[in-house]
Structure formats: C-alpha cells, structure tokens
Amino acid sequence: MKEIGVLASGRGSNFQALIDAARSGYFPAAIARLITDNPEAYAIKRAKDAGIPVSVLDFGSFPDRGAYEKALKREMEASDPDLFVLAGYMRILPLAIVKAFPGRIMNIHPALLPSFPGLHAQRQTIEYGVKVSGCTVHFVDEGTDTGPIIIQRCIPVEDEDDEEALAARILVEEHRILTEAVRLFLGDKIRIVGRRVIIR
C-alpha cells in the first residue's frame, strides 16, 4: 500500500480530512507519519487518536533555522513516503528539501493562487475587496505558493464576510479538494508539464 507523510503546525483539520479519507478507502494509502514543528499542535492529538506515528521537531529547540531544516530533511528522508502533504504547515520548505522530493510535495492554500500567497490569505482577500475567493492545491517548488496548480475551488465573497467567516467557508472546500488531489496523485492520474498539471 502507498504511504503519505503529513506536515502540520496547528489544528490539523486538513490532516483530519486526510485521516478520514484514508480510513474510508477514498484513496488507497496509509498515513505513515505526522511531522510537526510545534509541540503544542492539536494535530498531534489527531495523529495519536488515529494511531499515526508522530515526529515532533520543535523549531524553538534548534539553534537556528538551518539546523531545523537539516533535521527536517533527515526525518522526511527516513520516512520517505510516496507523497508529502503540507496541511497547515506554517514554514517555507528550503530548496534542499524541495529538490529531494520533486513532484512529491503538495500544499493546500486558502486563496486562488497566484493571488494572495503567503500568510493571512483570507485577510488579504477581504482587504482587497475581491468578489470571488477559494482555495488551491499545488505542488511545492522553491517559491512561496508558486508551484504548479493541481485543483482550485471557488466560492463567492459575501458583503458581510469577515476574515473568520470567509476562512470557515473556504475550509470546507479545502478538505474536499485536498483529498481529491491526493486521490488523483496516488492513482497516477497527474502529470506535470512545465507549469501545467494535466489530470487524466
């Protein structure tokens, strides 16, 4: 059976969506490991409840970012699943890690890339005043939210929306398209051609 590794830093609701999808047989893979940079992440409890091994690499315990990134790369190489999914992982992966797993790292972002990359995408959306928002699953490259786009889902931005209300509605769609993208990848339905992702 194929395996997935997940990196998460916080609540882990997208991680839970992956757990549920794996349990239901929606995609043919086991979640082999959670890696987190935050020893207080609620995702840890989700992993333990599901019997998934956890590696905690507390960012604050390392002397500098470089030391943390070397430890993260070692941990990822040791587990070496078919696919890594960033599910609310709040750090940018260094080039050395991206190059070590080409086309094997996915990220979920709460905006329609290339608009509003980086942190606080929902806040950026509200402040800019766009009428349509949504979420994007993309492959990770050396930039910030710049990799080839796999799936996007749109939702309207309502006049009464604030950051929290918009984020909650986007999150529902995140769970759907993230699990769908993983299913397509594991079923060998995805091909990267330049910047385009072709889905068969």
For the annotated catalytic residues, the residue numbers are 109
Residues in the chain, total: 200
Under 8 Å CB-to-CB from 83, ≥6 apart: which residues? Answer: 2, 3, 4, 5, 29, 104, 105, 106, 182, 185, 186
- Alpha-carbon distance of 185 to 118, in angstroms, equals 24
3-state secondary structure 65-112: HHHHHHHHHHHHHHHCCCEEEECCCCCCCCHHHHHHCCCCEEEEECCC
Beta bridge mates, 193: 196
Question: Phi/psi at 108 (nearest 5 deg)?
Answer: -110, 135
- Alpha-carbon distance of 24 to 110, in angstroms, equals 25
Q: What is the DSSP string of 135-161?
A: EEEEE--SSSS-SPEEEEEEEEPPTT-
Give the SS3 label for residue 193: strand
